[in-house]
Amino acid sequence: MEPELETRRRLQEAGQQHLLRFLGELSAGGKEALLGELRLLAPGEFREHCRRAEEAYVRDSSCPQRLDDKMRPVPPEFLGSIRKSDPEDLISWEEEGFRLISQNKVAVLLLAGGQGTRLGVTYPKGMYSVGLPSGKTLYQIQAERILRLQKLAGEKHCRKCTVPWYIMTSEFTLSPTQKFFEEHNFFGVDRSDVVMFEQRMLPAVGFDGKAILERKDKLAMAPDGNGGLYRALTDNHILEDMETRGISYIHVYCVDNILVKMADPVFVGFCVSKGADCGAKVVEKAYPAEPVGLVCQVDGVYQVVEYSEISPDTAERRNHDGSLTYTTGNICNHFFTLDFLKTVAGSLEPRLGYHVAIKKVPFVDEQGNLVKPVQPNGIKLEKFVFDVFQFSRNFVAFEVVREEEFSPLKNADTAEKDTPTTARRALLWQHYRWALRAGAKFTDANGRVIAGNSGVPELVDPPAVCEISPLISYFGEGLHVHLNNKDISSPFILDSHRL
């Protein structure tokens, strides 16, 4: 009885005694599972967490903060651009990026701790197939891009090189991700270069400040947001591993972007050439009221301002040349130096604030019945990966073309945007453009050339279906040898085993 009495005492101290109301109904195994989970929660921290969640919910619901008068756009000298920067600079940055990659100084870090709830699946998003002709999943596409990048950098500098792949998972995604990679032999990436680690979990809290029971024997828990990265780096000794490998620069990205250029040499080279300790890729807003976060300065400090934090007038504000003043949309695609991450994880992480996410959290009611709510009923507190921009001593942003580098997978196909269909179309349109630039001619069943290179990628399929393996081309390079003056029938897959 001692462990049970001690847990009751700790819960009373935290003001959460209700979590044991079904303890007498549980089997021995269920009782031990619940008590074991609750023993991990320090009473003071647990009480403070629930109090903070309730207060944050009340504050955010009653008085959303406006930052219009405090905002300034990223100064031009700290903003690079694929479209606007000097072509010679782009070449120079790319060369610098490849040089650093060839020296084994660059790693990629994947944020993959979230659940695919909005997508409508019960497994990690990286395991999802959007319906490409090849059937490849997001994980496979990303693995093959790493392999191709290593090959390109190695060939350019006549040496073998490695881009380690760190993958931050959560309690929900670690085991299935490990199993998936093992079943697919890590998609050809050396096992020793794939490092998976787990972020912390936090209790979900009701609007009354009480932690939620998901089942009679289980607390409702959720990952602490992608900003949980910084605690996880410390908890799992990841920074030490990076230092041992000689890593100096880290590219951090989200799992759901099917177009992501991991360890993009241009982006890495730009950031390093500017002496940046922290950087962000951005895309131009599609329209003034687009609900995306904006990378900008607030009171002289860099941060991401959410669309709900600015007025419509600010969103519509324009410069003298007619361009939007605030257009740098955040896409969760970041550059960090190892020294910067060590500083953040070492002393600055506790200064990061929490963000409120209002969610539908399954729970057991007073009678012990499982309830799947139709309306939001719970509060999850999260930290965001970009919250550390405020600590940067030399921050830069780099604008890329949305159609080439950003198409997130967030929702099921019943939604209007960010769905499997829009992600698939984005990739196939990109590969269609690459093939045309390489000199390919697409023909129909009657041998007639298929004309056309227009259309809105999210709304229609490309005129011809062409999928190019990342093992053949990282970002459109080297395709002339395979496609120039070739008549190709749709659908067409260019993969290494088909050459």
> Is pLDDT above 70 for 160?
yes
Q: Using CA atoms, how far apart are residues 124 and 464, in angstroms rounded to an integer? A: 31
Average pLDDT over the chain reads: 93
On whether the CB atoms of residues 144 and 187 are closer than 8 A, the answer is yes
On whether the CB atoms of residues 271 and 335 are closer than 8 A, the answer is yes
Q: Using CA atoms, how far apart are residues 10 and 7, in angstroms rounded to an integer? A: 5
178, with CB counted inside 10 A (0-12, 13-18, 19+), is middle
* Nearest CA among 220, 221, 214, 216 for reference residue 27: 216
Q: What pLDDT, on the 0 to 100 scale, is given for residue 64?
A: 62
| Structural domains of the chain, with CATH | 2-62 (no CATH), 68-405 (3.90.550.10), 420-498 (2.10.10.100)
> 434: pLDDT confidence band, cut at 50, 70 and 90?
very high
> 114: pLDDT confidence band, cut at 50, 70 and 90?
confident
Cis peptide before 164 (omega within 30 of 0): no
Q: Percentage of the chain surpassing pLDDT 90?
A: 85
Q: What pLDDT, on the 0 to 100 scale, is given for residue 1?
A: 47
> 127: pLDDT confidence band, cut at 50, 70 and 90?
very high
Q: What pLDDT, on the 0 to 100 scale, is given for residue 264?
A: 98
> Is pLDDT above 80 for 254?
yes
* Both tokens assigned to 308: 């709900």
Q: What pLDDT, on the 0 to 100 scale, is given for residue 448?
A: 85
Rg over alpha carbons for the chain, rounded to the nearest Å, is 24
Q: Using CA atoms, how far apart are residues 401 and 82, in angstroms rounded to an integer? A: 7
Tell whether pTM > 0.85.
Answer: yes
Q: What pLDDT, on the 0 to 100 scale, is given for residue 97?
A: 98
Please give the full DSSP string across 136-147, using - where no structure is assigned.
-BHHHHHHHHHH
Question: Residue 294 pairs with which residues in a beta bridge?
Answer: 305, 329
Q: What pLDDT, on the 0 to 100 scale, is given for residue 499?
A: 53
> Is pLDDT above 90 for 437?
yes
Q: What pLDDT, on the 0 to 100 scale, is given for residue 453?
A: 66
Q: What pLDDT, on the 0 to 100 scale, is given for residue 496?
A: 77
